Chains A and B, each alone.
Chain A
Amino acid sequence: QKEVEQNSGPLSVPEGAIASLNCTYSDRGSQSFFWYRQYSGKSPELIMSIYSNGDKEDGRFTAQLNKASQYVSLLIRDSQPSDSATYLCAVRSGGSNYKLTFGKGTLLTVNP
């Protein structure tokens, strides 16, 4: 069973701080990596995708990927109360069938 592991949290940061969310995965053949944000009672929405080693920045969000260490992270700069949500790490394994494996998610709370 391919696994995606995240710290469940909750992670609490003050407004304006950097929130750091981490994820590890077991399948070395994994090709694509995603971060989804899910507000309570709502469906997930994609906020970042990353495919190659290194950093990818989009506004206040930076995704980091290290395939050798099988590690992917999400940094949220200048955290806002509206960022309070569960963040789900998702990994696409290799092969022709497109399947995403999700982690359990990390609950982030940004305190005003």
Chain B
Amino acid sequence: DGGITQSPKYLFRKEGQNVTLSCEQNLNHDAMYWYRQDPGQGLRLIYYSQIVNDFQKGDIAEGYSVSREKKESFPLTVTSAQKNPTAFYLCAARGRLATNEKLFFGSGTQLSVL
């Protein structure tokens, strides 16, 4: 899926547990994004990062955290504060050029609660 690798494909979380979703890209893109998708719903923005060591909250950041220590990597941690974490999580990347507005998506991680 366009050089974005998400892992694992499926993840199960126990009550009170933090889990981390991996997102790695080999596109050399500056901007990276995390979206959440619930069944029958569109994508909602959790966090985004436009450059290394910088990130901003999206529309539904509560209960999530991210880091951007390397250009290639943008992991998402779903904390125990997120009470309804079951969803399909999508990571995306976008190039720097103003004319390059295409988001490249990973194949997604389905997170479920045990």
Show the binding face of A for B, using Cβ within 8 Å: 1, 4, 6, 8, 32, 34, 42-46, 49, 88, 90, 92, 97-105
Residues of B within 8 A of A (CB): 1, 31, 33, 35, 40-45, 48, 50, 56, 58-59, 90, 94, 101-103, 105-108
Q: Assess whether B42 is in contact with A42, with CB atoms less than 8 Å apart.
A: no
Q: How far is the CA of A43 from the CA of B90 in the complex (A)?
A: 7
- Report A106 CB to chain B, min CB distance, Å: 10
Q: Is the interface of A mostly helix, strand, loop or mixed?
A: strand
User: Given the complex of chains A and B, what is the CA–CA distance between A102 and B42 in angstroms?
Assistant: 6
Do B105 and A88 have beta carbons less than 8 Å apart?
A: no
CA distance A43 to B108 in the complex (A): 7
Cross-chain pairs A/B with CB under 8 angstroms, 21 sampled: A6-B42, A8-B40, A32-B101, A43-B106, A43-B107, A44-B90, A45-B105, A46-B103, A49-B101, A88-B42, A88-B43, A97-B48, A98-B48, A98-B50, A98-B101, A99-B45, A101-B45, A102-B35, A102-B42, A104-B41, A105-B41
